[in-house]
Amino acid sequence: MLTAQQLSLNTATVRSQWNLRQAIEGCARHGFGGISPWRDKLEELGAETAARLIRDAGLSVSGLCRGGWYTIASPLDQKAIDDNKKAIDDAATIGAGCLVMVVGGMVPGSKDIAGAREIVEEGLTRSLEYARTCGVKIAIEPLHPMYAADRACVNTMRQALDICDRLGPGIGVAVDVYHVWWDPEVEEQIDRAGPERLMAFHICDWLVPTTDLLLDRGMMGDGVIDIPKLRSRVEVNGFKGLNEVEIFSANNWWKRDADEVMRTIVDRAVDC
Amino acid sequence: MLTAQQLSLNTATVRSQWNLRQAIEGCARHGFGGISPWRDKLEELGAETAARLIRDAGLSVSGLCRGGWYTIASPLDQKAIDDNKKAIDDAATIGAGCLVMVVGGMVPGSKDIAGAREIVEEGLTRSLEYARTCGVKIAIEPLHPMYAADRACVNTMRQALDICDRLGPGIGVAVDVYHVWWDPEVEEQIDRAGPERLMAFHICDWLVPTTDLLLDRGMMGDGVIDIPKLRSRVEVNGFKGLNEVEIFSANNWWKRDADEVMRTIVDRAVDC
C-alpha cells in the first residue's frame, strides 16, 4: 500500500496535458512526494526556474529523464557526450536523485548490437566521469528487449549490473517494472544490485493485449505485473526512494483530464 | 550463404495463401529441403495423408508447430496434457525433427508469472515422458519477452536450458532469431545448448519500426538481425538441421502471391 507522499510523477504520464509548471502544481495539489521531469519539459521552463518551483512546492526530484542515446553514430560521437554533460548539469541544478539513462539502440543502418553495446559502455564511462565531479548519480534503465533495436540495447538487469560492476561507484540502475517484470531472474538481480545501485523504481502495468510497442502502457492494476512483489524486493534491498509513475498511453491516459489521471494514480497506489 | 535445399518452410509464412497440400507442392517446386507444418494446417489434411505427401515430395520435416500452452488453467489441466499427447503422436506420424513447444503465457486472470512457469515445467515433464516412448524430441521455443504474458513465459535461452538441465535427455530448444537476437548472452547460451539440444533454427527479421507485436515480422535482410552470426554459432555447435523460415506478416508477406514469397526467401537466403 502506497500513499501519495510515496509517489513521484514522471511527467511523461501527463505529457499531452501539462507543461512542467502545471505538473509541479498538480503534484503539490494531489499530495505527491516528488516529480521526475523529462528534459523537453525542463527546457521549456529552464532548469533554474524549475528547480525553484519544485523546491517551493515541497517536492523532491526522483530523477531526470533522460540521458543516454549514445549510439547516434559509430564511433561514439562528441555530440552525444556533450548532450549528456548538459543533462548532468541539469540534473545537478534540479537536485535529481539520478539521471536516468536510456542508452540508445543500434547505430542507424547497422546490424551490430554488440558494437552498439560497446559504444554505450564507452559513453557511460565518459558521462560517469563527469557526473562524479557534479555529484550526480547515473542510473542505467534496462529497457524491455522489444526496444533493443531502436531505443536501448541494455535490456536486462543482469546486463546493466555487469556494466555497473565494470564502471564502479556512482552508477546504478533504474528499475522500471514495465521493462523487467518478465525476467526470470529479476528478483535475484535486484538483490545483486543492492541499496547503492537501486537508484529509481518506476511503476505502471503491462496490458494484455498490448496494442502498441511504445504507447500502450497500463495504469497500475490494469495489467499483469505483480507490483507489490517487485516493490517489496527493492525495499528489502534498501531502496528508500519514491515510486515513480511513468505511463505512456496515447489512446487512454493521455486523452483524459490530468487531474483525473492523478486521482486514479493515487487510488491505484493503495494496491501497489 | 544458404541454398534452397538448406531451407524449410514453416507454413505460418504462407498461412493466408496456402493449405498444407499447396505448401508441400510449393516447397518441392522451389527446391526447399523441408517443411514445418502448423497443427491447424495438419489437421485439415490429416497427419497420415500429410506424411505421405511430404515423403513423396522428398521433403524432410524440421518440426511440428506447436505443442505447449500448458497454462490454460491452474493447476495443470488434463486437457493440456491430452492435447500435447495428440501433438506428439502427430509429430511421430509425420517424422518431425521435433515438436516445437510454445509453452503458454500466464494463467488467465493471474499476475503470478512464477506460478505459470511452474505449471509449464510440470507440463513439459509430463509431455517429455510420453514423447520419449514415441521417439519424438521436444523443443522448447523461448519466446520474445513481449509474449511473456499471453503466449510463452519461457523467454530466454538461459531459462529454457535451465529447464532442459532439470528434465534430462530428449528435450532441447528451438532457436528463433526473432525471439533471441537481442539477448546479450545468446551466443554463450547456444554454446551451452550443444548439438543434442539445438533442435531447430528459425529465421526471419526484426523490423525497425515494428508496428505490431505479433504480426509484423520481417523477411530476412529487411531488419536488424545478424542472421549469419547466429547461424554460424548454432552450426559451430553441431546443429545440422534446416533453416526454417517463419514469418508472421499480416500486412506484407501474407498479402503477396505465395510463389513470390518463396522466391524472395530463396533470394534472401543467399545472404543468410
Residue B266 is predicted with a pLDDT of 98
Residue A262 is predicted with a pLDDT of 98
B159, B210, B225 ranked by CB distance to A184: nearest: B159
Write out pLDDT tens, residues B149-176. 999 999 999 999 999 999 999 999 999 9
Residue A271 is predicted with a pLDDT of 96
Residue B136 is predicted with a pLDDT of 98
Q: In the 8-state DSSP scheme, what is residue A107?
A: P
Quick check: B231 contacting A, CB < 8 Å?
Answer: no
Quick check: B181 contacting A, CB < 8 Å?
Answer: yes
Tell me which chain B residues have a C-beta less than 8 angstroms from the C-beta of A149.
182, 206, 208, 223-224
Residue B57 is predicted with a pLDDT of 98
B155, B183, B226 ranked by CB distance to A182: nearest: B155
Residue B190 is predicted with a pLDDT of 98
CA pair distance A202, A204, nearest whole angstrom: 7
Write out pLDDT tens, residues A129-140. 999 999 999 999
Chain-chain contact of A224 with B146 (C-beta, under 8 angstroms): no
Q: In the 8-state DSSP scheme, what is residue B71?
A: G
Q: In the 8-state DSSP scheme, what is residue B211?
A: -
Share of chain B above pLDDT 70, in %: 100
Range of the domain at B35: 4-269
Quick check: B117 contacting A, CB < 8 Å?
Answer: yes
Share of chain A above pLDDT 90, in %: 100
Identify from B111, B150, B162, B203 which residue to disrupt to test chain A contact, counting A C-beta atoms within 10 A and taking the largest count.
B111
Write out pLDDT tens, residues A237-268. 999 999 999 999 999 999 999 999 999 999 99
CA pair distance B21, B45, nearest whole angstrom: 8
Write out pLDDT tens, residues B75-131. 999 999 999 999 999 999 999 999 999 999 999 999 999 999 999 999 999 999 999
Residue A162 is predicted with a pLDDT of 98
Average pLDDT over residues B259-272: 98
Write out pLDDT tens, residues A8-56. 999 999 999 999 999 999 999 999 999 999 999 999 999 999 999 999 9
**For chains A and B, what is the number of CB pairs under 8 angstroms?**
77
Q: Read off the CATH number of the domain in which B110 is found.
A: 3.20.20.150
Average pLDDT over residues B249-254: 98
Q: Which residue, A82, A36, A19, A30, is CA-closest to A203? A: A36
CA pair distance B208, B195, nearest whole angstrom: 32
Helix axes A47-56, A78-94, angle to 10 degrees: 30
CA pair distance A259, B5, nearest whole angstrom: 62
Of the CA atoms within 13 Å of residue B34, those in its CB half-sphere come to 24
Query: ipTM for the complex?
Result: 0.97
Chain-chain contact of B146 with A110 (C-beta, under 8 angstroms): no
- Please, is B209 exposed, middle or buried when counting C-beta atoms within 10 Å of its C-beta (0-12, 13-18, 19+)? exposed
Which cell numbers hold the place of B260?
Answer: 513470390
Write out pLDDT tens, residues A89-100. 999 999 999 999
CB B55 within 8 A of CB B49: no
3-state SS class at A156: coil
**Total structural domains within chain A:** 1
Tell me which chain B residues have a C-beta less than 8 angstroms from the C-beta of A182.
113, 145, 148-149, 153, 155
